[in-house]
Amino acid sequence: MRVLSATSAHNLSSFITAVHRHHLHSHKTVFRPPQTDKCQYSLQEYYQKKAKKYWDSFYKRHQNKFFKDRHYLEKDWGSYFSDDSCFQNGKVVLEVGCGAGNTIFPLVAAYPKLYVHACDISPCAIQLVKSHLEFREDRVNAFVCDAVRDDLSAKINPSSVDVVTLIFMLSAVSPKKMPLILQNIKAVLKPDGYVLVRDYAIGDFAQVKLRDKNQMIGDDFFVRGDGTCSFYFSEDFLSSLFLESGFNTIDINIYFKQIQNHSRDIVMDRRWIRAIFKNCDSSIRNSTLNSRH
Ligand SMILES: C[S@@+](CC[C@H](N)C(=O)[O-])C[C@H]1O[C@@H](n2cnc3c(N)ncnc32)[C@H](O)[C@@H]1O
């Protein structure tokens, strides 16, 4: 196994060039980030800037074979998507970081009136969505978008979305940039709209492995061997993040599962977080209306 050695802070730019070359030639070897704060901050910036490239390589390599369809969303959050009789048209959903469509296609199949906007930073992922057998232009608006930098309201009408889903997406983004994503989705979410989040939680087996391999580039933030990043959430971190961006927490919890991998003879303690947030704009608007009467 080849190991890239860490350099000191004053040699950072040549180090970043080395990191770049490393990921260019291999995604299997281990890369060890340096541990000073300055280096870690620069690496977070570096990987944020290169997110499109690394995620695009991920989908070129794995195509639509990596993630399984997420049918559990209907079971856990069905009421948020359902087309109840008072809605002549179905609800409008925005899935940010849709990947190859493992969240959106089960939803489109289960809720016949649902309309889905689906965006991803990777052009290859969006191509996979558009070439999916169940893709229909009248049900799915799929487009390339870096949710940290590109204005979602250029593609979606302001205040028009009922539910935003962030399924293993926020964790791919540097924690310093997460508030930018929340501001971006707030502009297209209805004043009483919801955000549904499912993601990796602190203490997950994968985090422990990345920590053991010294892949940390910030607090609870890691880079994988292929250059994609992964943050591990606590309940406090996630609810404060949303509160500071003007969302109320409706529900939040961490859940656990032990998964046995027979071929590798290991037991993995997996931990995920799931949460529901509500846009606070409706309560501000309601209290303003009430105070007028
Ligand atoms: C772990 S995958 C999850 C895919 C999908 N949500 C699902 O349920 O399978 C994370 C996705 O986030 C996308 N992503 C990462 N950073 C992004 C950004 N800044 N803007 C939009 N998408 C991003 C990646 O390309 C990737 O498809």
d(CA 239, CA 283): 18
Average pLDDT of 251-265? 91
Average pLDDT of 25-44? 63
Distance 285 CA to ligand 1 centre (A): 32
Q: Is the CB of 167 under 6 A from ligand 1?
A: yes
Exposed/middle/buried for residue 94 (C-beta within 10 Å: 0-12, 13-18, 19+) = buried
d(CA 85, CA 221): 44
pTM: 0.87
Q: Is the CB of 48 under 6 A from ligand 1?
A: no
Distance 66 CA to ligand 1 centre (A): 13
Q: Is the CB of 51 under 6 A from ligand 1?
A: yes
Q: Is the CB of 195 under 6 A from ligand 1?
A: no
* Nearest atom within ligand 1 for CA of residue 56: 25
d(CA 257, CA 247): 29
Using 50, 70 and 90 to split pLDDT, how confident is the model at 262?
confident
* Nearest atom within ligand 1 for CA of residue 125: 27
Q: Is the CB of 172 under 6 A from ligand 1?
A: yes
Mean pLDDT lowest for which of 95-104, 165-174, 262-271? Answer: 262-271
Q: Are 267 and 256 in contact (CB under 8 A)?
A: no
Q: Is the CB of 146 under 6 A from ligand 1?
A: yes
Bridge partner residues of 255 (DSSP): 272
pLDDT at 8 over 50: no
Write the residue with the smallest CA distance to atom 11 of ligand 1.
Answer: 97
Q: Is the CB of 128 under 6 A from ligand 1?
A: no
Distance 129 CA to ligand 1 centre (A): 13
How high is the pLDDT of residue 3? 34
| Average pLDDT of the chain, as a whole number | 87
pLDDT at 180 over 90: yes
Per residue in 50-103, pLDDT tens? 999 999 999 999 998 888 889 889 889 999 998 775 656 789 999 999 999 999
